[in-house]
Structure 1
Amino acid sequence: MADCAICILEPNDIEREILEGILAEEKDLHFFNSGEALLSSLKMHLPALVITETQVNGESGYDICRVIKRDFEAYNTTVVFLSSHTSVDERLKGLEAGADDYIFKPYDIIELYTKIKAARERITNQVALKQQLSLASDTAMQAMSAQSEMGCVLQAVRDMNCSSNFDQLCDALFSCLKKFDLGCTVFFYKIKEPTYVPTPGRQVTPIESQIITMVREQGRIWERGSRAVFNFQRASLLVLNMPEDSDKAGRLRDSLCVLMEAFDVRVDNLNKQQQLVNARERQDAVREICNLLSNASSRLRDSVSNSHVALRELVNDFWELVPRLGLEEDQETAMHRLMDRALEDINRGFEESEETCAIVSRVIDRLQKI
């Protein structure tokens, strides 16, 4: 998908020249002055990445995005907005229209290329996901449970409590959400690392993660239209298609709060379990290091002690041997000087070895305290 067409709706000549300069190396680049011109020629450039302003000569970029997402859905077209607005409401408008990302003005080259690369990856992945969903659609419909909403939630809570890792935890959550026919993205902290996971068959878009981050501190339930975010201490759930029926939506809010509270508690438990495992692994590693250092220190001390004994025997043998060699007095004196210097060097080495043993002992003591 590296060569997917880039279609840019930009009537302003100056902005157009800037984008042409930045994207000069792109092989399949097309500019349009109006939404009508873009839509009429889009079938020739699919699958494509469309970049558009939120307002173009009186035309709404959001309306253009809706038409693209409605009429060209099967072609995996990705829409990215150019905008100088950074509010939650503007992002929500883009999300409602079906946009995949925002590029905020003033933008830089690195950001633009990063966004284009991410959009291309989403196009490629979306093609693969749609193929997978096409094969699994019939099976998924037959597997839908006839349980009530609360029965589904209670089963999901039981499954989450039995989960031994985060993948199993998310599977239990999404199994329930699938029965409610909800498209969602769940956010949680995995060992202090922010993690975003979409319902199977979807991908998390940058707008979704931005909205979750911006509304996490805005109450237990945050709602705009058919979008809702359920916030807990360690997790949040973004629902993209809350039902229009008020009674059904009310029941679903209660069910999702119960579901996410259980999810939040289990996230905390799994994080603590992983921290305990990590602490035990560190403890075992420190214990092993202490044993290795202790053995090395003991062997070093034994080596020094044995060297002392061997040296004493060597010196005694030397002093006994020298008189029998029949050396001249000056030769014997020279031999004595050589031996004295050698003994001094050896004794310094012994002292350094003793100091090394003392250092190792202090290291072992510190590690044992840790």
Structure 2
Amino acid sequence: MAKLILAIDDDKLVHHIIEESLAGFCKIIHAKDGDEGLRLTKKYKPDIILLDIEMPGKSGFDVCQVIKKNEQTKDIPVMFLSSNIELADRVKGYSAGASDYIAKPFNAQELMARIKVLYEYRQQGIKLKNDVEHAEKTAQIAMTESGDMGRIMRFVGQSYHANNFQLLSEYFLAFFTPFNLDVVVVFWYKSQGIFYSLQSAVCPLEQELLEQHRYAQRFVDVGASTIINYPKVSLLIKNMPVDDSAKFGRYKDLFPHILEITNEKAITIQNNENSYEQAAQIGIALEDIVKQLVSQNQAQNSITKQFIEQLHELDCAIKLQKESDKLCDLTPYFIKLDQTMQLFTSANSDLAFIKCQLKQINETRNELLASLRSNAGELVLQNTTENNDIELF
């Protein structure tokens, strides 16, 4: 099915550029102002809306807010079109409900690429929304816990068994289900973010918002949204109860405990991944050394065979000289033997280099084992502490 795009802009030239840029890529309907755009949105339910910000009458922010308040249209991704590219404007667009933001003037390739991303985000959102069975089951389990402490202790127990970010994210997101909060979690791994969300897909502006505030203070409030930052994990809560000060404060006191636990687990997962990679590198290095040793052994055997043959030739020449009582030039034999001895010297140098490689690999292996033992010791200590805590409750 062809993608249906609604372009809302008061500038005819922009409509022409959009039409030319997306010709053959998707079907486009046009609206000249906010009111017409809202009417067409309600009528056609487009896959994506391209929305100008500065228009006569309703602004793009106003139109976006109306779209997001309507139950039938709230899930349609909105991309703002604007010549304002400051972060404050982008944050304002996100607060109004936009999923992406593209600066004017834009080219066809950039617009098409951004629409592909938003369309994929839209399809992911539809799939996740329809697939509610797992979320309901998780909610039922979580709702059986007695109070916040019970949920925290359950999460601690679950996270102990999580050995990858996918499983850890499932336990983490399930914790927030009883609170009816729409959240996005990102794990910072190897200078990049791994994003997860339970109730919907993660839109580009949400990713950008988390990336922009990764190194900000612990709490960042953006309208009704709140970001909580830890070194290896950040949480975006999209619908904080800003009108309920008691609940708002309770959440800000409670959620850092979960983030701190999750941050430590993310560090453990990353350390384990690094250990696996290091072990794999050691294995590759050992395979290479085995090949070198096989090659070196073959070379040594060949040189030894050549040396024995040359000694035999020299012995025959000496015997022939004794039998004939004639002096002959034995220099060529000694030259060959000298060359073969140089080959032995070179082979020994190669063997010394291989031994040096083996020594380095053994040191790396010892470091890896020491790291694994240290992690295991910390884990045992952590488990002992956790068990003692549980007994106190």
Query: Same fold by TM (over 0.5)?
Result: yes
Contact 1:290 1:368 in 2 (8 A): no
Confirm or deny that 1:355 pairs with 2:346.
yes
Structure 2: distance between partners of 1:241 and 1:75:
14
Confirm or deny that 1:22 pairs with 2:21.
yes
Cα displacement (A) at 1:76:
5.0
Secondary structure of 1:94 counterpart: helix
Q: 2:208 aligns with which of 204, 207, 210?
A: 210
Q: Deviations over 1:190-223 (max 9, x none)?
A: 2x14223233232111111111122233321111
Aligned CA distance change for structure 1 residues 48 and 59 (closer, same or farther; 3 Å): same
Which residue number corresponds to residue 37 of structure 1?
A: 36
Structure 1: distance between partners of 2:177 and 2:51:
33
Structure 2: distance between partners of 1:146 and 1:312:
87
Q: Which has the larger radius of gyration?
A: 1
Q: Deviations over 1:72-123 (max 9, x none)?
A: 6369532111122334443333223322111122323332111011111122
Q: Could you tell me the TM-score, scaled by structure 1's length? A: 0.82
Contact 1:79 1:101 in 2 (8 A): yes
Structure 2: distance between partners of 1:363 and 1:47:
66
Which residue number corresponds to residue 256 of structure 1?
A: 255
Contact 1:301 1:354 in 2 (8 A): no
Cα displacement (A) at 1:145:
2.6
Structure 2: distance between partners of 1:209 and 1:26:
26
Contact 1:54 1:61 in 2 (8 A): yes
Q: Aligned letter for 1:279?
A: Q
Cα displacement (A) at 1:47:
4.0
Structure 2: distance between partners of 1:107 and 1:71:
29
Q: Aligned letter for 2:54?
A: Q
Structure 2: distance between partners of 1:317 and 1:73:
102
Q: Deviations over 1:262-300 (max 9, x none)?
A: 111221122122222322332343344334423432332
Which residue number corresponds to residue 333 of structure 1?
A: none
Contact 1:47 1:76 in 2 (8 A): no
Q: Aligned letter for 1:272?
A: N
Aligned CA distance change for structure 1 residues 238 and 75 (closer, same or farther; 3 Å): closer
Secondary structure of 1:73 counterpart: coil
Which residue number corresponds to residue 286 of structure 1?
A: 285
Q: 2:228 aligns with which of 227, 230, 237?
A: 230
Cα displacement (A) at 1:343:
10
Which stretch shifts more, 75-84 or 222-231? Answer: 75-84
Contact 1:88 1:211 in 2 (8 A): no
Aligned CA distance change for structure 1 residues 179 and 88 (closer, same or farther; 3 Å): farther
Aligned CA distance change for structure 1 residues 263 and 10 (closer, same or farther; 3 Å): same
Q: How does 1:65-214 map to 2 (within 5 A)?
A: 65-71=64-70, 73=72, 76-133=75-132, 135=133, 139=137, 142-143=140-141, 144-190=143-189, 192-214=190-212
Which residue number corresponds to residue 241 of structure 1?
A: 239
Q: Deviations over 1:324-363 (max 9, x none)?
A: xxxxxxxxxxxx9xxx6x9978986875575355235324
Aligned CA distance change for structure 1 residues 146 and 273 (closer, same or farther; 3 Å): closer
Q: Pairwise CA RMSD of aligned residues?
A: 3.3
Which stretch shifts more, 157-166 or 94-103? Answer: 157-166
Q: Aligned letter for 1:252?
A: Y
Cα displacement (A) at 1:304:
1.0
Secondary structure of 1:55 counterpart: coil
Which residue number corresponds to residue 60 of structure 1?
A: 59
Long gaps (5+) in structure 2: 321-328, 362-393
Contact 1:189 1:234 in 2 (8 A): yes
Q: How many residues align?
A: 354
